[in-house]
Structure 1
């Protein structure tokens, strides 16, 4: 991140101490001040070089500077970008800030206030830079930077590429064109580590896939992914959501013969008596299929 500080002669004394305090951040510092002894063409050339150098511009100004040619030149050069240009005035000058600065950040305070502001800006800038680099790295692999490509990456189990998509700003809760979250795709494809990573970075825990009406824990139950089920239980996943045919996570686990998964859900508090469209519950399926370990867990825990 590159910061240019432009100021008038009256604020020149602030530059050394400002530069010293900003050294605590990873910011390249460049400065220009209005030197009344220089001819205007030379002065504006130096200002333009300073502005061209920068990612962000801090204008250290006093009340007289708001009408100055050099400040308005700076505004024109930045094309009025309020997200890149900031004004810093001393507290006693705050009353002199004109209305046209509305929309810009105006810091009325000490050098420490300036530091605190750019510390926050640096974080945002770093995130923006990482996102651009991630998109570039994806494109370098001849892969489209799109939701569809992100979904396909998760289905294939490419952990590294999934990480690039997340760094590029794609949501861990993204859904495909059929309304299926990428988390559900990871689970259905058996990619437990990818599913765990998506959960860690904030994927929606109870998002319902529009194709089957299942939540992530339901898809994990149907596949018998016990470790993932336990992770989601610990995270507070909804246990008793029913799919389109009325089946819950524990019903799916029992019906697919995943005894350990079913027991984990029962221990987590799943309701074994919710009936599906056939009038059957997890308890009834376990009785029908003579799944003794599940019946024992039900009797012990309920």
Structure 2
């Protein structure tokens, strides 16, 4: 039960004051496939921008992590792994974590419960075929979940990293949740495909984003929270953005009070040390029109 009293600090391992994860949503061309599933246009620009990820950006990000000695968490749609069968094995061989991210980057609001379950099963089968084992984690495309999805992800024994009800690990109906944060996602700052009706604003400069993320890092350290950085292969694999990430990682690694871990390691720590902490229900509130105050009851 919440109150105005400050919660006890989250017990990160080794006496660390906060935690940091480097995660990559390897969307590549899969959102294009989903958005154009009924009538693919004979147009190359958006598709080629997304192909940059597996062709160039992903390797650039992997080399960055190798250069600073960090392991990342790569959430890969099934369609991307299917199109690039080298991807999952090479990431695993390099010591990184791989997790599920839908099959076609299908949007939750546009699929039925049965379709979600079917595509989840297909993703699991593909991962097992390519790397010989079931992944530990799931991250929903566009970071949305439903009660059915929570139940299915829990049934398969995964942790989830899609929601943001806390800034430390928690659980939703028994499902371990490693929370994300829109403020530390590269797409909201840099995503720019071009064309009328596609983009709401021009991309932000790297200096402004680096400053904002360093402020987030300072806040995470002060409040003892989890900083999950989420980048995309086709967005932050571009040169200046990769250099910006190198500077951010320098700030992270210079602070010995920050635990640097994969998302899966954070989930495992939660389940081993603080299981059930900050447990919440996935219950959806009733419609406003059923509320006694609205009905005059």
The bucket for the TM-score relative to the shorter chain is: under 0.3
Larger radius of gyration: 1
Provide the TM-score with structure 2 as the length reference: 0.24
Q: Which has the higher contact order (CA 8 A, sep 6+)?
A: 2
Decide which structure has greater helix share: 1
